[in-house]
Structure formats: C-alpha cells, structure tokens
Chain A
Amino acid sequence: MTHIKLKLDKINKSFGSKIVLNNLDLEVRNNESMVVVGGSGTGKSVLIKTIIGLISPDSGTIKLDDHNITNISGKSRDKLMSRFGFLFQGGALFDSLTVWENISFFLIHNKYMPEKQAKERALMKLQDVGLDSSIMHLRPSELSGGMQKRVALARAIVNDPEIIFFDEPTTGLDPIMANVIADLIIKCRKKLGSTTITITHDIESVRKIASRVAMLHEGRIVWIGDVDKIDKSGNPVLDQFIKGKIEGPIKVDIGGNK
C-alpha cells in the first residue's frame, strides 16, 4: 500500500452563491506527480490555493501525512509552508528585489541565512533550472517570460520542499519553452524526491509531467487514474476535454446562443 501524502476530505468552498468546490475528495500519493486538469474557471486554482492555505475551505479537512493542516495558523503554519513550494502562474517574483534575493527570500527571512551563503544557494538553484550567474543581479522585469518562470521555479524549490505546487506552469509560453519547463519539473521531482501537484489545461504537458491525472468538473474530481489510461478512460468529461470537443458534458459558453 502506497503512502498517502496528502488527503482532501469533503472540501467545500463557495464564493457568494457560486459553488466552486463541491464535496471534493482527493488523495495524492507520496512521490507521485499528480496533475489536476479542468477547463478554465472550474476551480483548479481555488483547489491548490485551498490546499496550501491561501484560501480556507468552508468545510472539509486537509491532511498532510495524516496530520490535519486545515486552517492552522501562526508558527505551525510557517513551519508547514517551509515544506511546500509554490510556482505561480505569472511567476509572482518580487519586482523590487534582484533575482538572487528573490530566490533566497525564504532562506534570508526564515532561516536567517547569511548573505554570502544565501547567494551561493541561490546560484546553485539557478543552475538547477538551467540559468547561470549572469542574471543574479538583474531585476525580474529585465528577464523574458520563460526566464522569469525558471527563476520562480528556483525560488519555489530553494528549500527542497516535500510538495511542490505548479499553477499552470506552461501556460503563456511558446511550445519549446513549455517543454523546457515540463522537463525541469520532472528533473526537480526526481532530484528532490518531492511530490508534485500540478494544475493545467495543457494536455501535452499533462502527458509529459503526470504520473496520475485527476479531472476536475463541477467542483469535484470525476475521474482519477494513471496517465497512460487517459485516452481509454471511458469518462465522457475527460474524453471531451482531451479531444477538445465542443459537444459534451462540459458546457461551453460560446456567446450569444445559449
């Protein structure tokens, strides 16, 4: 029996009258690469932000290694965050800080690491994501989109986290850069031995990154299984999503003729 790293139990979340997560259950195994797919606006972002605590669920529990981590705060929350890494969709680099300060932000502010050591660590992580020391002292605004994303990845993995979250890691990048990022995600996972949870709607990168895939639809997981089974899932929702069909259980608002 594989160890369950993360367990979500009956998570509910609504904003106003809009139900986003509806009694959602999800189990993520240790060391696997779980990819959650779903259309735009189906609550994928809400799901991972709920897991790391940026959004608190209306009800339900989240367990990490069998410890309840729902709504914990203060010191224990800080301790918990040091076990997580999070790559934001737009990178979310601090634009007032240089590249190396961004990467070692966690180490400087939480581990109180001396500057020299933090810089070395930043450089090491920068090389891990295929960049070199020449950009250490640049500001994020001076970098290209793909580079920003890689720096953001370096920042997310600076503390060798147990679980790394990727919010649309390949969205908005050209196909080659998307491939580079996907490769880096695989590499990081192998090197650090981390569990990764990715949300995306880019089916190419799903095939590449995922070990298991979960389909989010109408606030719950409607299908979950190994990545090599997604083409023969028999699930109408997943089928429609992969093939990009307009007709099917996923209702698309194409404007005008509702």
Chain B
Amino acid sequence: MNFIGLIGRYTIIMLESIGRVVIFTFNSIRLIFSWPFYFRQFFNSLIDIGFFSIPVIGMTAIFTGAVLVLQSYTGFSRFSAENSIPTVVVLSITRELGPVLAGLMVTGRVGSSIAAEIATMRVTEQIDALFTLAVNPMKYLVIPRVIASVIVLPLLVLIADILGIMGGYIVATEKLGFNKALYLSNTMTYLKSEDVVSGLIKAGIFGFIIAISGCYNGYNSNKGAAGVGVATINAVVMSSVLILLFNYITTQILFVK
C-alpha cells in the first residue's frame, strides 16, 4: 500500500473516533439532566472512585511533597534562597502536581476498572440485557460514574494537597533542619485561595475525563477477552493524554500575569 494512502486512512480513522467520543460526551451531558437517576449506582461509584482511592492518592502525595523539598533544596541552596522552598512546594502541589498526579493515579486505578467492567458487560450482553429490561444503559452505567467522578476528584485533590504539603514539611523539618514554625508560616504567606481553587477546578475536569474515557472505551468494546483488554488500554491512554492536554489548556485559561 502506498504511504500517502496510509496516512489518509489513519487520519480518517482518527477523525472518526474523535467524532464518536464527542458524540458520546454530548449524549452523556444531555442525559445528566433527565430522569431517572440511579442513586445506588451513584453511591457505589462514590465509594469505589473516591474512598478506595484515598490510600493511593495519599501515598503519591506524601512522597511527591517529600521529594519536591529535597530537589528544590538542591537548587535553592546554591543561591541561599532556602526560605522560598515552602512557597515553591505549596504552589507546585496545589496548582499543578496535586491535580495532575491524582488524575493520573485515579486513571490507573479507576479509569481502567470502569473500562474493564463495562467492556465485560458489553461482551457478556449485560448492556443489551439492560436495554431489554427498559433501562437506558447510558443512564444506568455512565451517568452515575461521571457525576461521582466529577464530585470526588476535587475532594481527593484536597487530600493530596494537604498530605503533599505534610510530606514536604516532614522532610524539611526533620531531615534538612528547617524551623517548624517558620516553614509553616512561609507556606501560608504567599498562598492565595485561587491557587487551591484552580487546582480543584482542574480536578473536576480531570474527573470528567477519567469517567468518560473509561465509559466510552468500555461501552464500545469489541467482542471477546481481547476486546476487554484493548478497551482498558485505550481508556488509560486516552484519559492520561487528555488530562495532560486539558491541564495545559486550563492552566492557560486560569493563568493571571
């Protein structure tokens, strides 16, 4: 096959799948505002996406905060700016690392499991069964997960913010000999509420991306065990890439000189 033809074919395939994702997303948004709402599914998703992600998010945040202090100390001590370290740590965690790392960790833990679960339901005809029992599968499977994910991600990021700063604080005071009170006051002095809020807004967007990627790929899975595997891979890749893309876009939008 000729090379140009190959490029053309893949471009068309890519555009088609982007179109399908967009249609799926709009359908989901439209269905959020229509009755019925499956509360039980919603609460299950809250527990699954939120509560059980806390350990993973907590560990990630603590070690990220800790390493951030060590690395910035290496640089900042070269020009005697150690006092800026608390500010650097708190700003990078609340504005950037908290939401992005939480987003990526939840993608790995939850996005993949959403995709695998819904894909298995597709393969074993459970989604068709929902339809024959007069329940809209999109409303039953997708909407509760999307809403739960959008609500829960900001909460997880809040936890990540607190634990990340704590991780940094422990290393700074215990290992590098910072004054405890001074470190904390330096942390708070230059922190504005918009730093935290911008991180939480990002988290909400990431939550939406994670749930939609998982649901879309699971919902449109191909037959067989291989189909489930491919759906899971696609969900994780799509979610991770979109999170990093929208991370830049939202940062740009929320960026104030």
**A106 interfacial by beta-carbon distance below 8 Å:** yes
Q: In the assembled complex, which residues on chain B have CB atoms less than 8 Å from the CB atom of A94? A: 121, 126, 129
Q: Which B27-45 residues have a C-beta within 8 angstroms of A?
A: 36, 38
Minimum CB–CB distance for B185 against chain A, Å: 50
How many residues from A make CB contacts under 8 Å with B? 24
Decide: B134 and A81 in contact? CB cutoff 8 A.
yes
Q: In the assembled complex, which residues on chain A have CB atoms less than 8 Å from the CB atom of B125? A: 88-90, 92
Q: Which A1-60 residues have a C-beta within 8 angstroms of B?
A: 49, 52-54
Q: In the assembled complex, which residues on chain B have CB atoms less than 8 Å from the CB atom of A90? A: 124-125
**A105 interfacial by beta-carbon distance below 8 Å:** yes
Q: In the assembled complex, which residues on chain A have CB atoms less than 8 Å from the CB atom of B124? A: 90, 92, 95
Closest chain B residue, CB of each to CB of A112: B36
Decide: B135 and A92 in contact? CB cutoff 8 A.
no
Q: In the assembled complex, which residues on chain B have CB atoms less than 8 Å from the CB atom of A85? A: 132
**B7 interfacial by beta-carbon distance below 8 Å:** no
Q: In the assembled complex, which residues on chain B have CB atoms less than 8 Å from the CB atom of A155? A: 133
Closest chain A residue, CB of each to CB of B136: A78
User: Measured between alpha carbons, how far is A208 from B213 in the docked complex, in Å?
Assistant: 47
Q: Mark A188-217, 1 if CB is under 8 A from B, else 0.
A: 000000000000000000000000000000
User: Measured between alpha carbons, how far is A52 from B125 in the docked complex, in Å?
Assistant: 14
User: Measured between alpha carbons, how far is A175 from B157 in the docked complex, in Å?
Assistant: 57
User: Measured between alpha carbons, how far is A92 from B131 in the docked complex, in Å?
Assistant: 12
User: Measured between alpha carbons, how far is A219 from B131 in the docked complex, in Å?
Assistant: 25
User: Measured between alpha carbons, how far is A79 from B128 in the docked complex, in Å?
Assistant: 17
Minimum CB–CB distance for B52 against chain A, Å: 15
Q: In the assembled complex, which residues on chain A have CB atoms less than 8 Å from the CB atom of B133? A: 81, 105-106, 109-110, 155
Minimum CB–CB distance for A167 against chain B, Å: 9
Q: Which A146-165 residues have a C-beta within 8 angstroms of B?
A: 155
User: Measured between alpha carbons, how far is A95 from B121 in the docked complex, in Å?
Assistant: 9
Given A90-B124, A92-B124, residue A81 in contact with residue B131 (CB < 8 A): yes
Q: In the assembled complex, which residues on chain B have CB atoms less than 8 Å from the CB atom of A54? A: 128, 131-132
User: Measured between alpha carbons, how far is A125 from B226 in the docked complex, in Å?
Assistant: 36
Q: In the assembled complex, which residues on chain B have CB atoms less than 8 Å from the CB atom of A61? A: none
Decide: A109 and B135 in contact? CB cutoff 8 A.
yes
User: Measured between alpha carbons, how far is A52 from B132 in the docked complex, in Å?
Assistant: 8
**A166 interfacial by beta-carbon distance below 8 Å:** no
Q: Which of A49, A89, A93, A106 contacts B134, CB < 8 Å? A: A106
Q: Which B94-143 residues have a C-beta within 8 angstroms of A?
A: 121, 124-126, 128-129, 131-135
B36, B125, B134 — most chain A CB neighbours (10 Å): B134
Decide: A110 and B131 in contact? CB cutoff 8 A.
no
Q: Mark A69-89, 1 if CB is under 8 A from B, else 0.
A: 000000001110110111011
User: Measured between alpha carbons, how far is A54 from B130 in the docked complex, in Å?
Assistant: 11
Minimum CB–CB distance for B207 against chain A, Å: 22
User: Measured between alpha carbons, how far is A54 from B133 in the docked complex, in Å?
Assistant: 12
Decide: A110 and B132 in contact? CB cutoff 8 A.
no
Closest chain B residue, CB of each to CB of A158: B133
Closest chain B residue, CB of each to CB of A105: B133
Given A90-B124, A92-B124, residue A81 in contact with residue B129 (CB < 8 A): no
User: Measured between alpha carbons, how far is A94 from B135 in the docked complex, in Å?
Assistant: 13
User: Measured between alpha carbons, how far is A160 from B128 in the docked complex, in Å?
Assistant: 20
Minimum CB–CB distance for A69 against chain B, Å: 14
Q: Which of B126, B129, B134 contacts A78, CB < 8 Å? A: B134
Decide: A86 and B132 in contact? CB cutoff 8 A.
yes
Decide: A86 and B129 in contact? CB cutoff 8 A.
yes
Q: In the assembled complex, which residues on chain A have CB atoms less than 8 Å from the CB atom of B38? A: 109
Q: In the assembled complex, which residues on chain B have CB atoms less than 8 Å from the CB atom of A53? A: 131
Q: In the assembled complex, which residues on chain B have CB atoms less than 8 Å from the CB atom of A105? A: 133, 135
Can you show 25 pairs from A to B with CB atoms below 8 A apart? A49-B128, A52-B132, A54-B131, A54-B132, A79-B134, A81-B131, A81-B132, A86-B129, A88-B125, A88-B129, A90-B125, A92-B124, A92-B125, A92-B126, A93-B129, A94-B129, A105-B133, A106-B133, A106-B134, A109-B36, A109-B38, A109-B133, A109-B135, A110-B133, A110-B135
Top 8 closest pairs, chain A to chain B, by CB = A81-B134, A92-B129, A92-B125, A86-B132, A78-B134, A106-B133, A88-B125, A92-B126
Q: Apart from A53-B131, A109-B133, what are 15 other A-B pairs with CB-CB below 8 Å?
A: A81-B132, A81-B133, A82-B134, A86-B129, A88-B125, A88-B128, A88-B129, A90-B125, A92-B124, A93-B126, A95-B124, A105-B135, A106-B133, A109-B36, A110-B135
